[in-house]
Structure formats: C-alpha cells, structure tokens
Chain A
Amino acid sequence: MNLMVTLIRRELWEHRVLWIAPLVAAALLIAVALGGHAQVEVPRDVALDDRGRLALFALMQWAFVLPQYLLMLIVLFFYLLDCLYAERRDRSILFWKSMPVSDGQTVASKLLTALLVVPLGVFVLALLADLVFAAIIGLRFGDASAFVAWDTRTWLKLQALMLFGLMIAMLWYAPVAAWLLLISAWARRNLFLWAVLPPVFAVMLERIALGTDRIGDFLRYRLFGIWRELGVREGLGDALRIGGERLPRVDRLFDVIDASPVLGDPHLWLGLLFAAALVRVTIRIRRRRDDR
C-alpha cells in the first residue's frame, strides 16, 4: 500500500503536467468568471418554468466541466505514451530497477495514476472550481444570475452522476490506456506514430481490400461508444432542445443516464480482459527489455 502510494507520487513528481494542466484549466475558468462578459439571449417567447431552469443549470454544469475533462484526456494520452519511454530515454530505468519494485507494480502504478488518481483529482478540482465559479457569478451579477437557478439537490445529483460516469468511462478506456502503455514500453522512437498508425492502417487496409468498415466501426465504438451507452447523447440532446416542443426535464436526464446497461454490457468486460492481456505483455517487455 505504502509502496503503491510512493510509486504514484513518483509519477506526479516526474509528470508534473498531470496536475499543473488541470490547475491551469480551473484557474482559467475562474478567471473567466471574474472578468468575462457573457451575453445570453433568451428568446422572449420562451418562458422557462422551474424544470427548464434546472435543465439550464445542469447544462451549465456540464459545459463548465467538459473542457477540464477533455484536457485531462489529452494530458493522459501523452502521459501514458511517455511514462515507460522516458525512463528508457534518460536511462533512469536502471535506477528504478535497482529498487525492490517489480515490473508489475511499476506498470500498475502508471495505470492507476492514469485511470484513477488523475481522474479523481480532476473531478475534485472541477467540483471546487465550479463552486468558486458559481459564487463569483452570484456575487457579480446578483439577481441577474437568478435566470440560472442554483439548486443544491440537482447540483449534488449532477456531481454524483459525473463521478460515476467518469469511473465507468475510465474502465471503458482501459484498453486504450493499456495499448498506449504497451507502445511506451516497446517502441524505440516515434511513439505517437506507433500508437496511432497501426489502427489507421488496419481501417484503410480493410476498406481497400474488402470495401467494408468493420474495424473502423469497432474502433469508433471503442473510442466514443461509451457516451451512447451511458445515454449521455440522448440525455443532453433532449436537454439542448430548449425552446422546442419538449422542454428539458432534468429528471429525465437522470433517468436516461443509467448505469445498469453499461455494467451489464459484455463489451465493457471484454475490453477489460483485453486491457489485462496488453498489460501482461507490457510487463513482460519491461522485464525483458535489454537496451544497450
């Protein structure tokens, strides 16, 4: 336990971008709240009832955290691709290997950092930034901000939902993370190309040879399918139709975003199995690697 904590702290020491980037993003968003001007034009004929206000409130929450999570995904992509390569590049791998830490523990610490520690950290940070943001907006605009009603119950529900969605998403993306780690441990140079080109070539080859797009469909599903599975698209899509016939219903948002189909989805578990296999290979590569 203590060992794993030390290993994860080590990751945060080396890859400072893991925590600096989210901090900067949160700070920027707060700066926007402090100095930014926003004009929201509300169609006059739309009279928002309470439900509509809540929906708008919920949407604003999503909009606030979304850039932070997108940035996190980008940062994690490059972190995973670099973490096992950096120690070979600067030859510090021999120092790490002189410590009684197994290759499995090392790889696990990197995976845990990417799939658990950083997402949780970003979640907490986004939550805090959100509170600060709301407080500043409230102070600056006073009554004018009443258009978007603050509702603590909805807010808590949303946060719980985001945390849950985040954890599921991280499980869903575990195979991608494992693939990046594998490339990081294996490739001698051009890591980005090794990570990206094989899938792209596979898709192109299939199109040329067979004229079908099964691999492409599969990859798209693995990369973006989670959001459909979680029902985010329908939920948000509904909510976005403000002013339309169907005024958004926040309750529905929660109904639509439902965990059980995702947890019951064999694709999630098959993906995790595949990730485990890739991790095993990665550990083997790090153990056997003999760069001279």
Chain B
Amino acid sequence: MTAVIEARALAKSYGATRALDGASFTVESGRIVGLIGPNGAGKTTALRAILGLTHCEGELTVLGRDPRRQRDELMREVCFIADVAVLPGWLRVSQALEFAAGVHPRFDRARAGDFLRRTDIRMKSRVRELSKGMVTQLHLALVLAVDARLLVLDEPTLGLDLLYRRTFYDTLLNDYFNEQRTILLTTHQVEEIENLLTDVIFIDHGRVALAGAVDALGERYVQLTVTPEQAARERARALP
C-alpha cells in the first residue's frame, strides 16, 4: 500500500493559539479515515493544510505533491467538501454541472446527472432555492462524479437531518468508494460513522493522540464499564 498523505510535524499558529502543534500522521491508499477530535483540536486546520488552503510548517506530501506549491495539479486528483453551505446561492444546478465539466478534466457530467435524477433537485433551480439537504446532495453529486483519488470531507453532514445523513453515507460507501480511492473525513459525531471507517486519527490540541486501523484499535483496547459502587469498593481496598 502506498501513502496518499504523509504529514510530519505539522505546525500552524493563529496568533497565540497553536492550531497544529507537531502533528504527524500517514494515510494509506484505499482507506476511509476519520479525523476525530473536539472542536478546536486542529482537525479543520489539518484538512486545510492537506488541501493547500492554508500555509503550515512541517513536511507534507499529498499524492506525492506539496499542496503548498502544487495545489492546482493536486486539485485534479483531490476533491473536497469543506462545509455544507459553500455552493454560491446564485448558481443554478445546470450551471454547476456545466462549470465542473468545463474546468475539471476528470468530471463525468452524465454520472452527476444520474445522481441528481435520483433526487428532487431540478436542473433549473438556483442553489438558494434548495433546502440544506438538497444543497448537500448537489455538492455530493458534483464531487462523486469526479474521478478523484482522494476525497476530503469536513463535517459533511453538519446541519443535515438524520435521514439525509444515512443516505449520504450509503451513497458514499456504495457508489463511490473502492480500493483506488481514499476518503478522509472529520466529524465530532463519531458514532455516526464508526462502522464506516477503516482507520481513525484522534487529534487533540494540535497533536495526534492516537492513530491506527479500527480493527487493531479494537484489539488493543477494551471498554471498561465500572459502576460507582465498584469504583468506591476498589478504591477503599487500595488504601493501606
């Protein structure tokens, strides 16, 4: 397996806040990796660094390229959804498809059209007329129609109702994912995607706290359930 992302000692500060503080991690090809951590842990900054959207210190290679300097080439093989509502309100659905087809050499317009036909989205609608769920569906249709090697999703289901979330992840897993593709996503609702992930990277205070394959983590750690009575008893016994 080859590494899609290799990050060594990433560091980035916003004023006095250290968003990334020496984070190192590797993402292998053909995995679905969850970047997990509380708000402000540095997830989004790490993603932005990977996508070349922000400058950071340290070594960083994505698909063999430096996102800080070769961003344009990188974007041919990397797709991302940064947040739910970033499609501009004035854009028509048909224009979105036309634009992607015009600028993206790996965009398959027919495929995007297929996705959209399964939804209630009409080609003539403007983004501002669509519901939040529909905007996400549209964005997903655009992204899934790109033959990309790396898909990056930042809190993709934020603000979506439960029904859409299920459909979202089902589509992702069934229609898109294969061994040549890698998906990196962040969320702070781990329970929603824990069955989906093959790997996890826990990030806290700008550092990687724990990383590895989900299976391996399951073997290394056990869940310990303790009632307060048991805990009190054990503590009492531990006293000299």
Contact = CB atoms under 8 A, between A and B. Distances in A.
Interface of A: 2-3, 5-7, 9-10, 13-14, 86-87, 90-95, 97-102, 287-288, 290, 292
A7 B103 contact: yes
B99 A10 contact: yes
B53 A97 contact: yes
B72 to A, nearest CB: 4
B221 interface: no
Contact of B88 (A7, A87, A288, A290): A87
Contacts, number: 78
Interface in B89-118: 89-92, 95, 98-100, 102-105
Contact of A290 (B53, B71, B103, B139): B53
Given A290-B53, A290-B54, A100 B76 contact: yes
Given A91-B86, A92-B88, A3 B80 contact: no
Contacts of A90: 88-89
B183 to A, nearest CB: 15
Given A2-B102, A290-B53, A100 B72 contact: yes
Nearest to A92: B88
Nearest to A86: B88
B72 A95 contact: no
Nearest to A290: B54
Contacts of A3: 102-103
A92 B88 CA distance: 5
A226 to B, nearest CB: 34
B103 A99 contact: yes
Interface of B: 14, 48, 51, 53-55, 71-73, 75-76, 79-83, 85-92, 95, 98-100, 102-105, 139, 143
Contact of A100 (B54, B95, B105): B105
A98 B82 contact: yes
Given A93-B86, A97-B53, A290-B55, 13 more contacts: A7-B103, A9-B102, A14-B91, A90-B88, A95-B82, A97-B51, A98-B51, A99-B100, A99-B103, A99-B104, A100-B75, A288-B55, A292-B14
A56 to B, nearest CB: 45
A98 B79 contact: yes
Contact of A91 (B71, B79, B85): B85
Contact of B75 (A14, A98, A287, A290): A98
Contacts of A287: 71
Nearest to B101: A6
Contact of B86 (A92, A102, A288, A290): A92
Contact of B91 (A13, A94, A288, A290): A13
6 contacts: A13-B91, A14-B88, A90-B88, A95-B86, A97-B51, A290-B53
Given A2-B102, A98-B80, A292-B14, A13 B72 contact: no
Given A3-B103, A99-B103, A100-B72, A13 B95 contact: yes
B208 to A, nearest CB: 22
Nearest to B106: A100
Nearest to A99: B103
Contacts of B83: 91, 94
B12 to A, nearest CB: 10
A98 B82 CA distance: 9
Nearest to A105: B72
Centre residue among B86, B89, B92 by max chain A CB count within 10 A? B86
A93 to B, nearest CB: 8
B102 A94 contact: no
